[in-house]
Amino acid sequence: MPQHVWVDGKVVPADAPTISAFDRGFMLGDGIFETLRARRGVVVELDAHLERLRESAVPLGIALPPDDAPIVAGIAAILAAEGLADDGSSGRHPGDAALRITVTRGPYAARGLAPAGPSSGPTVVIVAWPHTPPPASVLRDGLALVTSSVRRDPGSPLAGVKTTSRAESVYARLEAERAGADDALILDTTGHVSEATSANVFAIRRGRILTPPLGSGCLAGTTRAWLLEHAPIHDLEPEEDELTRADLLRADEVLLSSSVAGIIPVGRLDGEAIGRGGAGPITLQLRDRREAWIEKASRGPG
Ligand SMILES: Cc1ncc(COP(=O)(O)O)c(C=O)c1O
């Protein structure tokens, strides 16, 4: 467990009482967040994450600090406090961390859904954990997914917005757990594939790498963007297209992508094998390339 958290400008002990019982993030899931990876104290794709945080704030009208400096300083402070910022030059292991930035609308004493009355403003919390790679069994067998009964509504104004209201995703994860699977596949309201509970979905088939369009209500993942950009380097033709469950079952390989977990193979869907039923070789190659790219980026230019 982390020993510290960064709350509104200060590093405090993780078990210190820090959040108001009236905070709307706690009361209503009225907040937004980002999950990120930092290696050697360098945050991977920091600008893209901060831009997405700002975009998430817009539909909910959450007032972020006008510039990114306090959040950037907060990330550095919490990584240092948790001993996760080491650049590796001293012979120690380079820091490797998963980070979460949460911004809520803040505390409002008045009851009700509409934010009414005085407030001290948004609450900003940053937490860092040591990054843990997926278990060897996942890199050998791939994840087992089940199709969730939860549907993404692409017509919702909050589709693809990274709000802290994650009860549906938690429900889908519990469905997966009850079925003895690792994660859930979420379809949109038209029955097409949208994403997993906390990752984007890709299918590889005959030299093409396909992922659902943003119109499926999925998150515009940073790792998704990286894969679409880098696919041609790996002789894969990237395509954003509607996918069905059957398309995933017909694919040579299926993978999930996210900033913290990286590129992860999927071996089974609803008990049926995908491809040969284990981790796909192209997926593992893409995973290694992404990890090498992160390592290189963390060392800086030169
Ligand atoms: C619902 C959902 N989809 C996709 C992703 C992947 O996005 P990224 O690659 O930016 O981490 C996440 C990441 O947390 C997510 O929560």
Give the tens place of pLDDT for each residue, 194-218.
999 999 999 999 999 999 999 999 9
Q: 195 CB less than 6 Å from ligand 1?
A: yes
Band (233; pLDDT cuts 50, 70, 90):
confident
Q: Give me the pLDDT at residue 60, please.
A: 97
**241 and 278 share a domain?**
yes
Tell me how many domains the chain contains: 2
**65 and 141 share a domain?**
no
Q: Whose CA is nearest to atom 15 of ligand 1?
A: 198
**95 and 211 share a domain?**
no
**146 and 293 share a domain?**
yes
Residue 31 covered by a domain: yes
Band (12; pLDDT cuts 50, 70, 90):
very high
Q: 20 CB less than 6 Å from ligand 1?
A: no
Task: Select from 100, 130, 160 the last residue of a domain.
Answer: 130
**203 and 263 share a domain?**
yes
**285 and 145 share a domain?**
yes
Q: How far apart are CA 180 and CA 88, in angstroms?
A: 39
Q: What is the pTM of this model?
A: 0.96
**What pLDDT digit, counting tens, does each position of 270-288 carry?**
999 999 889 999 999 999 9
Residue 45 covered by a domain: yes
Q: How far is CA 78 from CA 69, 183, 196, 261, 288, in A?
A: 14, 29, 29, 20, 28
Encoded tokens for 236: 């894969």
Residue 47 covered by a domain: yes
Residue 163 covered by a domain: yes
Residue 164 is part of a domain; what is its CATH number?
3.20.10.10
Residue 12 is part of a domain; what is its CATH number?
3.30.470.10
Q: 221 CB less than 6 Å from ligand 1?
A: yes
**What pLDDT digit, counting tens, does each position of 80-110 carry?**
999 999 988 888 889 999 999 999 999 999 9
Q: Whose CA is nearest to atom 2 of ligand 1?
A: 198
Q: 298 CB less than 6 Å from ligand 1?
A: no
**181 and 273 share a domain?**
yes
Q: Give me the pLDDT at residue 83, please.
A: 96
**148 and 267 share a domain?**
yes
Strand-pairing partners, residue 38, are 43, 97
Strand-pairing partners, residue 31, are 104
Stretch 27-49: mean pLDDT = 97
Q: What is the mean pLDDT of the chain?
A: 96
Ligand 1 center to residue 259 CA distance, Å? Answer: 7
**Contact (CB, 8 A) for 216 and 152:** yes
**146 and 273 share a domain?**
yes
Residue 156 covered by a domain: yes
Task: Select from 130, 163, 196 the last residue of a domain.
Answer: 130
Name, in order, each residue with C-beta under 8 angstroms of 169's C-beta and a sequence gap of 6 or more: 150, 186, 197, 198
Residue 232 covered by a domain: yes
pLDDT greater than 90 at residue 188 = yes
Ligand 1 center to residue 92 CA distance, Å? Answer: 30
pLDDT greater than 90 at residue 29 = yes
**190 and 95 share a domain?**
no
Residue 206 covered by a domain: yes
Q: Give me the pLDDT at residue 302, please.
A: 61
Encoded tokens for 65: 């600090």
Residue 302 covered by a domain: no
Please work out, in degrees rounded to the nearest 5, the angle formed at the alpha carbon of residue 214 by the alpha carbons of 269 and 239: 70
- Host domain of residue 284: 136-297
Q: 219 CB less than 6 Å from ligand 1?
A: yes
**211 and 125 share a domain?**
no
Buried b or exposed e, range 56-86, using 16+ CB within 10 angstroms? bbeebebebeeebebbeebbbbbbbbbebbb
Q: Among 152, 187, 198, 255, which residue has the most ligand 1 atoms within 8 Å of its CB, making it the best to mutate?
A: 198
Three-state secondary structure readout of 55-104: HHHHHHCCCCCCCCHHHHHHHHHHHHHCCCCCCCCCCCCCCEEEEEEEEE
Residue 35 CA: nearest ligand 1 atom is 14
Ligand 1 center to residue 268 CA distance, Å? Answer: 20
Task: Select from 70, 101, 130 the last residue of a domain.
Answer: 130
**90 and 154 share a domain?**
no
